[in-house]
Amino acid sequence: MPARPENSETVWHIQKRLRDLGFDIAVDGDLGPPTFWDQSETLAAILAHLGGPVTIADPRDAAPTRNGKHVYIDIGHGQKPDRFDPGAVHRGTNTSEHSLNIIAAKACETRLFEAGFDVTIDDLSRHNSHGAPAQGAEALYHRTKGGTADRKLAAAAAKEMAKELGIRNRGAKPAGLSVLSGAADVGVPASILAEMYFMHEQNPPNPPASDMVIWSHRAGEALARSIIAYNKSNA
């Protein structure tokens, strides 16, 4: 791996400085190919405020983590180059998938940090959407690039989320998603996409619309527990 240029900062450093200054924003580009954030006027303005310019180097060259483990959480949906993508939207409450993803990601981050992990959040924990009545938790791994580690973590995550919410365990499933492919391409040891529960309207409501925020928080904590357990079993 090439050395980090002198007086440059990795994405990890930039995110830490943003948080220290009270910004609740994720800088993309640390897992896979660069995205629009890396060249956007928004990012340029933030970096100017921080005293840029900076060089975005390989995140694996970032400062040492507290226990040697770093977890990346991609929230999913959100701002795109030309529009905002809310994901699925619950018709009864107008609650967006993206807003619930944030709740789950923050809950997962808090639990992981308490367990000694360093965590970076980008704007892929998700909530499922489906056209027919169903309820369950599942986790996806890449169809061709996912190995034993990915499948093991996906199975553990689906089981723990389903147990926490008292819903069907739909298990670990292969998928050809570019975000999982990108993670594999940069050497992430294990990468999954968590589908926490179905948020479409059901009869009877499951969960009730008023409980979706609570379910998302609980599912995020369950996801964190599965990551912690996976890490212990592979230490």
- Per the CB < 8 A criterion, the answer to whether 58 and 16 are in contact is no
Q: Which of 63, 93, 109 is the last residue of a domain?
A: 63
d(CA 118, CA 65): 6
At residue 30, the pLDDT reads 39
At residue 87, the pLDDT reads 74
At residue 129, the pLDDT reads 52
Q: Which of 39, 63, 87 is the last residue of a domain?
A: 63
Strands annotated E in the chain: 9-10, 56-57, 70-74, 78-79, 84-85, 118-122, 126-128, 136-142, 168-175, 193-198
Hey, what amino acid is at 85?
A: D
- Per the CB < 8 A criterion, the answer to whether 46 and 25 are in contact is yes
Q: Are residues 52 and 162 in the same domain?
A: no
Which residues on adjacent β-strands are paired with residue 70? 118
At residue 124, the pLDDT reads 47
d(CA 24, CA 109): 13
Q: Which of 63, 85, 102 is the last residue of a domain?
A: 63
Contacts of the segment 145-148: beta carbons below 8 A, 24+ positions apart: 145/180, 145/181, 145/184, 145/185, 146/174, 146/180, 146/184, 146/191
d(CA 209, CA 215): 10
- Per the CB < 8 A criterion, the answer to whether 135 and 197 are in contact is yes
Number of C-beta neighbours around residue 31 at 10 A = 21
At residue 210, the pLDDT reads 84
CA angle 104, 105, 107 (to 5 degrees): 65
Q: Are residues 34 and 98 in the same domain?
A: no
At residue 3, the pLDDT reads 41
- Number of domains into which the chain is organized: 2
At residue 46, the pLDDT reads 59
CATH number for the domain spanning 215: value is 3.40.630.40
The pTM of the full predicted model, rounded to 2 decimals, is 0.69
Q: Are residues 202 and 93 in the same domain?
A: yes
Q: Are residues 6 and 83 in the same domain?
A: no
Q: Are residues 125 and 179 in the same domain?
A: yes
Hey, what amino acid is at 18?
A: L
Q: What range defines the domain where residue 5 resides?
A: 1-63
Which residues on adjacent β-strands are paired with residue 41? none
Q: Are residues 141 and 165 in the same domain?
A: yes
Indicate the SS3 state at residue 70: strand
Q: Mean pLDDT for each 10-residue chunk of the chain (235 residues)? A: 44 62 53 41 58 45 58 77 73 84 90 88 57 78 94 97 95 89 82 90 79 93 96 85
At residue 125, the pLDDT reads 46
Q: Are residues 215 and 102 in the same domain?
A: yes
